[in-house]
């Protein structure tokens, strides 16, 4: 049984993260565009979860989630939207100037959040991986998937910057979500077909963890930068306020607390290091 119940994430953390992400996006984009971008990201989050569950049958969610259409908790969907939009903003603020650099930095920052969440969530029974992976029960392929999910969407959103016409933006986001989900499936099928998951021992998985942490520190090292006001990430990053960082910390912090309650040194290390990197990125 989880010492912190599923309801904490479903009824408090996820709605609060979504609300804070919207408040920041509204400041950057206006109410209509902010709602549209976050709804597109939420739809993307639902689509990628369903597609991955159908294609790979590697993870699922237990019945303790109260609102889970098609087996995907609504809380997970809105956290995807909040984390991706916030990671875009922080990536710009830490100096990522080109579209590719913003995509890479956003992916690394989002990965830090996931590195705090995944092993604790698995231990708590918030979701399940079948089979269990080499890094504290989490498959390494999950982190590859996160990099594709956040990186591909950010890159596409940045390349398709420009028009403020609502229907054109909506069409572009639908197309981008489809392409990003297809990219996730392609990478996942290649990963499985080549048997790459089975090549990771626990030591190898921890080595990769260290590389991801160092990559995130590198991405977060830069000085403040206002970004390109013609792009989505640029506008999110240029808008003032601490809300993007607060969202990332809000999503990660309960898992740090839960790791401490488990009193497992490995879980505490993974969660605490991730929290430290996020604080460094938000300095």
pLDDT tens for 13-64 read: 999 999 999 999 999 999 998 999 999 999 999 999 999 999 999 999 999 9
0.85 exceeded by the pTM?
yes
Helix (H) or strand (E) run with residue 52 in it: helix 31-56
Under the banding of pLDDT at 50, 70 and 90, the label for residue 250 is very high
Q: Kindly report the CA angle at 234 between 50 and 242, in degrees rounded to 5?
A: 85
**pLDDT above 70 for 226:** no
Among all chains, which residue has been given the structure tokens 């991801």? 212
pLDDT at 1: 46
pLDDT at 277 over 90: yes
pLDDT for 160: 76
Work out the burial of residue 11: count CB atoms within 10 Å of its CB; fewer than 13 is exposed, 13-18 middle, 19 or more buried. middle
Long-range contacts of 156-159 (CB under 8 A, 24+ apart): 156/180, 157/88, 157/231, 157/232, 157/233, 158/99, 158/102, 158/103, 158/231, 158/232, 158/233, 158/234, 159/99
Give 223's pLDDT tier (boundaries 50, 70, 90): confident
In this predicted structure, what is the pLDDT of residue 161?
63
Q: What pLDDT was estimated at residue 141?
A: 97
Tell me how many degrees the CA angle 188-190-192 measures, rounded to the nearest 5: 70
Residue with more model confidence, 158 or 211: 211
Residue with tokens 């090549």: 199
Residue 95 clears pLDDT 70, i.e. is over it: yes
């Amino acid at each position: 049984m989880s010492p912190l119940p599923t309801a904490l994430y479903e009824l408090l953390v996820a709605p609060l993260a979504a609300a804070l992400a919207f408040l920041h996006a509204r400041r950057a984009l206006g109410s209509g565009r902010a709602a549209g971008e976050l709804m597109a990201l939420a739809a993307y989050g639902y689509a990628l979860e369903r597609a991955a569950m159908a294609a790979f049958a590697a993870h699922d969610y237990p019945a303790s989630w109260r609102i889970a259409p098609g087996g995907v908790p609504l809380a997970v969907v809105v956290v995807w939207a909040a984390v991706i939009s916030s990671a875009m903003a922080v990536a710009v603020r830490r100096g990522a100037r080109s579209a590719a650099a913003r995509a890479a930095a956003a992916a690394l920052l989002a990965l830090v959040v996931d590195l705090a969440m995944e092993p604790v969530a698995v231990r708590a029974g918030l979701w399940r991986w079948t089979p269990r992976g080499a890094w504290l029960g989490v498959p390494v392929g999950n982190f590859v998937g996160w990099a594709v999910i956040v990186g591909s969407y950010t890159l596409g959103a940045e390349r398709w910057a420009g028009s403020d016409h609502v229907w054109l933006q909506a069409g572009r986001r639908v197309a981008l979500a489809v392409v990003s989900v297809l990219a996730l499936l392609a990478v996942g099928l290649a990963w499985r077909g080549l048997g790459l998951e089975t090549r990771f021992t626990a030591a190898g998985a921890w080595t990769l963890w260290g590389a991801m942490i160092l990559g995130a520190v590198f991405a977060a090292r830069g000085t403040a930068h206002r970004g390109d006001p013609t792009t989505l990430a640029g506008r999110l990053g240029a808008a003032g306020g601490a809300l993007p960082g607060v969202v990332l910390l809000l999503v990660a912090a309960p898992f740090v607390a839960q790791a401490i309650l488990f009193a497992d040194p490995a879980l505490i290390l993974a969660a605490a290091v991730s929290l430290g990197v996020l604080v460094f990125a938000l300095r």
